[in-house]
């Protein structure tokens, strides 16, 4: 049986792991390759590395890091952050990344999704969406790390992206991110039920019950979290054992 995936996310800046609260207040959380190795040994199903380095010259640091990750860890990993061209993706895949995640650039130029999917296959194109529930009760797409609001509803953009060739959706709720109050169940369920591709839920994990909830109530294929793993608030083996006991299909 295909299992639900637990995905630690490592935010990378200048080659180091960092973690912000509500997309701000960045703190240092260690060497990414050491963490990646630890997580893979602990039973993480996949890893996501999001590069929040702003400058172009620092991107070379990222490519070197991707190669170090690929040579050292034996599970799949996704790289995202600042990817805007087919060439960016080609370089990352050539250095050993399994998938890339694209966000703002894809929204501004949806053809990028089709180009990547045609060239590399939809299985390596993860569309990341930062989303926020507004006072009207609707979920909208936000860009540029959550700084820019759009008037586009999340479900509409997700459907369009999948039609263009996105193979997975990485959905981060800005309302939930950093709160440790649980994942956004309603929007995750909506996307998961309406899209033919897997949805990775992100933002808000605070305890093990939240993972159970997002798998059972939100129908997520995977759940992503960062700080609770980095700061050892929840151990991956403990979490997976708990979920398995709760009758959720999990790789132990």
Partner 1 sequence: MIAIVKYNAGNVLSVQYALQRIGVDSIVTDDFEVIRTADKVIFPGVGHAQSAMQYLKEKGLDKLIISLQQPVLGICLGLQLMCKHSEEGDTTCLGIFDTQVKLFSSPALKVPQIGWNNIYNYKSELFNELSEQAFVYTVHSYYATISEHTTATTDYILPFSAALQKNNFYAVQFHPEKSSVAGETILKNFIQLT
Sketch the per residue contact string, 1 through 30, with partner 1: x for CB under 8 A, - otherwise: xxxxx-------------------------
Strands 168-173 and 5-13: unpaired
Cα–Cα–Cα angle for 7, 240, 245, rounded to 5 degrees: 145
Asked if 130 is an active-site residue, the reply is: yes
C-beta of residue 125 within 8 angstroms of C-beta of residue 166: yes
Binding mask 39-58 for partner 1 (x = CB under 8 A): -x----x-------------
Nearest approach in angstroms of CB 135 to partner 1 is 33
216 CB-contact burial (10 Å; exposed 0-12 / middle 13-18 / buried 19+): middle
Selected range binding partner 1 among 24-32, 115-123, 129-137, 210-218, rule: CB under 8 A: 115-123
Selected from 22, 94, 144, 193, the binder of partner 1 by CB under 8 A is 94
- Considering only 125, 197, 201, 226, the residue that binds partner 1 (CB under 8 A) is 197
The CA distance from 168 to 101, in Å, is 9
Candidate list 76, 145, 146, 235; residue touching partner 1; CB under 8 A: 76
* Active-site choice (45, 51, 88, 130): 130
Assigned token pair, 17? 């792991």
Candidates 15, 145, 146, 198: give the one binding partner 1 (CB under 8 A).
198
Helix (H) or strand (E) holding 216: helix 208-216
221 near partner 1 (CB under 8 A) = yes
> What whole-number distance in Å separates Cα of residue 241 and Cα of residue 151?
41
Catalytic residue set:
11, 130
């Amino acid at each position: 049986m295909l299992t639900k995936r637990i995905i630690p996310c490592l935010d990378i800046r200048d080659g180091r792991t960092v973690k912000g609260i509500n997309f701000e207040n960045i703190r240092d959380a260690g060497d990414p390759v050491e963490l990646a190795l630890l997580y893979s040994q602990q039973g993480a199903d996949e890893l996501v590395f999001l590069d929040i380095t702003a400058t172009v010259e620092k991107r070379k640091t990222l490519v070197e890091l991707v190669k170090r990750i690929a040579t050292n860890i034996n599970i799949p990993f996704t790289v995202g952050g600042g990817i805007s061209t087919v060439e960016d993706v080609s370089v990352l895949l050539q250095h050993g990344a399994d998938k890339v995640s694209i966000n703002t650039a894809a929204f501004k130029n949806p053809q990028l999704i089709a180009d990547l999917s045609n060239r590399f296959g939809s299985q390596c194109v993860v569309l990341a969406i930062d989303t926020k529930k507004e006072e009207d009760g609707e979920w909208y797409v936000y860009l540029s790390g959550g700084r820019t609001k759009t008037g586009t509803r999340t479900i509409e953009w997700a459907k369009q992206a999948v039609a263009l060739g996105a193979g997975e959706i990485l959905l981060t709720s800005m309302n939930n991110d950093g709160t440790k109050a649980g994942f956004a169940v309603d929007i995750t369920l909506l996307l998961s039920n309406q899209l033919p591709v897997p949805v990775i839920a992100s933002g808000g994990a605070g305890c093990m019950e939240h993972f159970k909830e997002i798998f059972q109530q939100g129908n997520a294929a995977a759940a992503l979290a960062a700080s609770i793993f980095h700061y050892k608030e929840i151990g991956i083996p403990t979490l997976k054992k708990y979920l398995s006991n709760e009758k959720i299909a999990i790789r132990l």
